[in-house]
Amino acid sequence: MTEAAMESGGNPVSVSASAPPQALLERLKDYGQEDVFSLWDELSPDEKDLLVKDIENIDLPRIDRIIRCSFHSQGLPAAAIEPVPESCVSTVEERTMEEREKWWKMGMKAMAEGKFAVLLLSGGQGTRLGSSDPKGCFNIGLPSGKSLFQLQAERILCIQRLAAVTANEGAGIVPIQWYIMTSPFTDEATRKYFESHKYFGLEAEQVTFFQQGTIPCVSKDGRFIMETPYRVAKSPDGNGGVYTALKYSRLLEDMNSRGIKYVDCYGVDNALVRVADPTFLGYFIDKGVSAAAKVVRKAYPQEKVGVFVRRGKGGPLAVVEYSELDPSLCSAVNQETGRLRFCWSNVCLHMFSLDFLNQVANGLEKDSIYHLAEKKIPSIHGHTMGYKLEQFIFDAFPYTPSTALFEVVREEEFAPVKNANGANFDTPDSARLLVLRLHTRWVVAAGGFLTHSVPLYATGVEVSPLCSYAGENLEAICRGRTFHAPCEISF
């Protein structure tokens, strides 16, 4: 007899050497998943124990509902799509200086009042970058050598200080809560990285880590794939798993208890992300919507990016992946604006009200529809074709009664780090150059000069986030001074 495993009801289940636990086997049969015990007789007593515990940790009714709903939804005709109405978008050229100043002040006031939090999606490893570390630990090669995590932490430090000066009337700095979603593959390494770097100057109490869930990988007929004879193959449930994870970790309640009303949500792999952007927050508050997204214009019709659309006549805004968009629609032009009809790219920069996050967490769980990603999955039969089930952050948008889009300039706010150097796009090298070029423009605008021993298009200067959030307050540091690129400008 091996050590007793626990049935979900809380009663001990003896793991017999001769047969699987009967009650567990019956439950698996109810869901057509009894094949997980097909190699039972070949397992050692310890392996049998591991298998039983693995199955007991799976919420079988929930997973069965997700598999059935997700398989059923595949192939169903989606509502016809229409372009996003012009009234839903704040474009760069239409934005006045007065509006920008108003929104900046509104955002600063909400931050100074403690009504705002930041939510980072950081479940991925840097596998495509050639690293097994969490992607946020990656150093893209800036003069400072700072990682993505450090750049983001220092932007939070900077904006906290600015909010205290701008809106807090001497009451001191109000810490911005930073919620960081990890995955089982990155959680421990992420926590240790922050601890070893003393949270990059933030208070440990303002940083909260939580894990996204995993979900069993399934075959094309919906059966669990076995990674080993005693373990079900599982994968993270996608960045849209954040809603369920917030609910089950009780962090939505935590936010509510802190008086947080607005949550800025973004992905880790953007070297230019304006974490906690007060202008975007002020715009969100001013519009009174429950969800908003920063968007950039598609660079060219066939660019491989998801775009915002309207689903159905008068329906909600949603994101359609580039692979789902008919090629003729990709190239269609709006004759009035001269833009592509479907031009607003989703770049994973979102703002949500806390009320809406609660609504989505319950709604997505009830609907249980996940995207099926066909992948080669490691299994006891070698790599086998099957499905990983994922939700995406933008799956929330159809639930909102009101969404606003906020256009930003790609070169100022979007430097993705997705592929290893040597690839054609979205590499550490391309992101580093975008950062250096933007910061060089800031320095020149503030009256600084540059010398350089390599062509300027291949280099530049880096401005520490502790000096400036978005190019402001640099005159005192830069005016009349000459900097030799590449270098970091800091206090």
pLDDT tens, position by position, 56-88: 999 999 999 999 999 998 877 777 899 999 999
Instruction: Specify the amino acid at residue 138.
Output: F
Tokens for 326, please give them: 């008919």
Question: What integer pLDDT is reported at residue 169 of this predicted model?
Answer: 64
Using pLDDT thresholds of 50, 70 and 90, give the confidence band for residue 146.
Answer: very high
DSSP per-residue string spanning 54-113: HHHTS-HHHHHHHHHHHHHHTTPPPPPEEPPPGGGEE-TTT--HHHHHHHHHHHHHHHHT
Compute the distance between CA of residue 65 and CA of residue 60 in angstroms, rounded to an integer: 8
Of 308, 335, 266, which Cα lies nearest the Cα of 83?
308
Is residue 246 pLDDT above 50, yes or no?
yes
How large is the average pLDDT for residues 468-481? 96
Least confident among 123-127, 344-348, 440-444: 123-127
Give the count of beta carbons closer than 10 Å to the beta carbon of residue 174. Answer: 18
Helix, strand or coil for residue 328? helix
Q: Are 179 and 118 in contact (CB under 8 A)?
A: yes
For residues 368, 374, 378, 382, the Cα torsion angle rounded to the nearest 10 degrees is 130
Instruction: Specify the amino acid at residue 209.
Output: F
Which secondary structure element, helix H or strand E, spans residue 158, and what is its range?
helix 148-167
Question: What integer pLDDT is reported at residue 5 of this predicted model?
Answer: 38
Which stretches of 250-324 are DSSP H helices? 251-257, 278-287
How large is the average pLDDT for residues 113-126? 92
Is residue 10 pLDDT above 70, yes or no?
no
Question: What integer pLDDT is reported at residue 74 of this predicted model?
Answer: 83
Domains and CATH numbers, the chain: 75-426 (3.90.550.10), 427-490 (2.10.10)
Of 305, 317, 309, 281, which Cα lies nearest the Cα of 469?
281
Q: For Cα atoms 60, 213, 176, give the angle at the middle one, nearest 5 degrees.
A: 145
Give the count of beta carbons closer than 10 Å to the beta carbon of residue 173. Answer: 15
Strands 449-452 and 482-485: parallel
Mean pLDDT of all residues belonging to the chain: 92
Compute the distance between CA of residue 214 and CA of residue 216 in angstroms, rounded to an integer: 7
Of 491, 264, 217, 481, which Cα lies nearest the Cα of 373?
217
Compute the distance between CA of residue 101 and CA of residue 106 in angstroms, rounded to an integer: 9
- Residue holding tokens 């993705």? 416
Compute the distance between CA of residue 186 and CA of residue 133 in angstroms, rounded to an integer: 7
**First vs last Cα of the chain: how many Å apart?**
66
Compute the distance between CA of residue 412 and CA of residue 354 in angstroms, rounded to an integer: 28
Compute the distance between CA of residue 276 and CA of residue 446 in angstroms, rounded to an integer: 23
**pLDDT tens for residues 395-441?**
999 898 899 999 999 999 999 999 999 999 899 999 999 999 999 99
Tokens for 238, please give them: 């996608």
Is residue 3 pLDDT above 60, yes or no?
no
Using pLDDT thresholds of 50, 70 and 90, give the confidence band for residue 235.
Answer: very high
Tokens for 54, please give them: 């693995």
Compute the distance between CA of residue 379 and CA of residue 388 in angstroms, rounded to an integer: 13
Q: Are 458 and 490 in contact (CB under 8 A)?
A: no
Tokens for 345, please give them: 């790219």
Q: What is the percent of the chain where pLDDT is above 90?
A: 81
Question: What integer pLDDT is reported at residue 170 of this predicted model?
Answer: 63
